[in-house]
Amino acid sequence: MGKLERHVTITDVAALAGVSVGTASKALNGRGSLREETRARVREAARQLNFEVNAGARSLHSGRTYTVGMITTDTIGRFSIPVLMGAEDALGAGQMSVFLCDGRDDPIREQYHVKTLIGRRVDGIIVTGRRTEARAPISPALPVPVVYAYIGSADPDDCSVVPDEAGGARKAVEHLLAVGRTRVAQITGPEHHHSARVRAGAAAERLAESGLAPAGPTLFGAWSEVWGRQAIGMLLAGGADFDAVFCGSDQIARGVADALRSVGRRVPEDVALVGFDNWGVMVEGSQPPLTSVDMNLEGLGRTAAEMLLAAINGSPSPGRHARPCHLVVRESTAVPLVPGAA
């Protein structure tokens, strides 16, 4: 474990350099007017002692901690991780450290974390979660700015950075139309889930705009492969006529792909398939690899962090900011390898 040395203070550094603490502070921070020789002497002393300035003591003065809190309302998971990473990235570049708090879907716990963060005098807070549905603000009035990422705040004056899922769904449908499909079926997650409804609704709307009716009713179920396989069974049993399936998630799409293959329907020749989330291990493991809508979660996190930094510096960006999704095309929608033929 190494020797546990005592923490070095600026007093130690000043003593070693033979100057006063005030002078040492100025030397290390490039303030005041000092001879270059003095500065160098202090710097050398600091280096020699492995001095790291006590951030707590410093912020006592500046009022800034260069620290932000990140609260996941529900458990840290597949969606919050990329958001978290994007935020960490953007904040790290601004020399800020991140306190990570897991709310575990428990409002009490969440409230406790908010209080703790305020106590730690974070400069701001990022709230994220597993679903995109708007949620109640974490607190009516806080002394620091708050930005919601992925999950949105129900208060329209709060700053929220969310994916444009409807736009993503429309892009998926447009792509299917572009590769010549007209009988599009939909299989998605639970009906009570906001994302399932939004994605399915937007897709249906886009079809209607092209004068097309959906190939059968939208099948709501679960966000799982098992459901994807079941749903295809239902679709086939019902004699539905479809040449494409837009799925609410990659897991569902993968289940669909497997089920279609096992009944001898070829993807994409007979049925084109689009998933949602662009989850690497799913889209790549699938046979064939899946075309999917990417919500750019990392970008979402980065943007949220940048907006938080701006808010901390006095330029808030209130309101709901929807960020575009983009489509990543793979074999499951059979785009010709030679682009000219499109």
> Which residues lie near a second copy (CB under 8 A)?
1-8, 52-57, 59-60, 63, 65, 67, 70, 75-77, 81, 84-85, 88-89, 92, 97-102, 115-121, 137, 139-146, 157-159, 224-226, 251, 254-255, 258, 281-282, 284-285, 287, 311, 316, 318
Which residues face 148 on adjacent strands?
127, 160
Q: Please tell me the distance from the alpha carbon of residue 26 to that of residue 48, in angstroms, as a whole number.
A: 18
Which region, left, alpha or beta, applies to residue 71 given φ > 0 means left and ψ of -120 to 50 means alpha? beta
Q: How far apart are the first and last CA of the chain?
A: 62
Structure tokens at 265: 């329907």
d(Cα 156, Cα 159) in Å, to the nearest integer? 8
Closest approach, Cβ 304 to DNA, in A, equals 28
Contacts with DNA: how many residues (CB under 7 A)?
A: 31
Among 1, 4, 7, 338, binds DNA (CB under 7 A): 7
Report residue 219 CA to chain centroid gap.
27
Given DNA, a second copy, none, residue 182, with its beta carbon under 5 to 8 Å by kind, binds none
Which listed option, DNA, a second copy, none, makes contact with residue 281 (CB within 5 to 8 Å by class)?
a second copy
| H or E stretch at 161 | strand 159-163
Minimum distance between the CB of residue 15 and DNA, rounded to whole angstroms? 11
- Hey, is 39 helix, strand or coil? helix
Q: Which is nearer to DNA, 7 or 192 (CB)?
A: 7
Of 110 and 165, the one with the shorter C-beta distance to a second copy is 110
Beta bridge partners of 258: none
Q: How far is the CB of 54 from a second copy (least distance, A)?
A: 6
Which of a second copy, DNA, none sits in contact with 32, Cβ below 5 to 8 A by type?
DNA
The first and second tokens of residue 134, run together, are 């708007």
Contact pick of 1, 2, 34, 330 for DNA (by CB under 7 A):
34
Residue owning tokens 């409807």: 166
Binding of DNA by 61 (CB under 7 A): yes
Report the partner that residue 21 touches, choosing among a second copy, DNA, none (CB closer than 5 to 8 A by kind).
DNA
For DNA, which residue of 38, 182, 224, 317 counts as binding (CB under 7 A)? 38
Residue number, 96 or 271, with CB nearest to a second copy: 96
231 binds DNA (CB under 7 A): no
Tokens of 217: 């009713």
User: Binding DNA by CB under 7 A: which of 15, 43, 49, 53?
Assistant: 53
Rounded distance, CA 94 to CA 271, Å?
A: 48
49 binds DNA (CB under 7 A): no
Least separation in angstroms between CB 62 and a second copy: 11
Tell me how far, at minimum, the Cβ of 70 lies from DNA, in Å: 23
Interstrand relation of 326-328 and 291-294 (parallel, antiparallel or unpaired): antiparallel
Beta bridge partners of 97: 67
The smaller minimum CB distance to DNA, of residues 4 and 263, is found at: 4
Q: Give phi and psi for 283, each to the nearest 5.
A: -65, -30
CA dist., res. 40 & res. 47, Å (int): 10
Instruction: Report how far residue 73's alpha carbon sits from residue 151's, in angstroms, rounded to the nearest whole number.
Output: 9
Give the torsion through C-alpha atoms of 18, 23, 28, 30, to 10 deg.
-140
Q: Among 57, 93, 136, 213, indicate the residue that binds DNA (CB under 7 A).
A: 57
Tell me which residues touch DNA (CB under 7 A). Answer: 7, 9-11, 18-26, 28-29, 31-35, 37-38, 51, 53-54, 57-58, 60-63
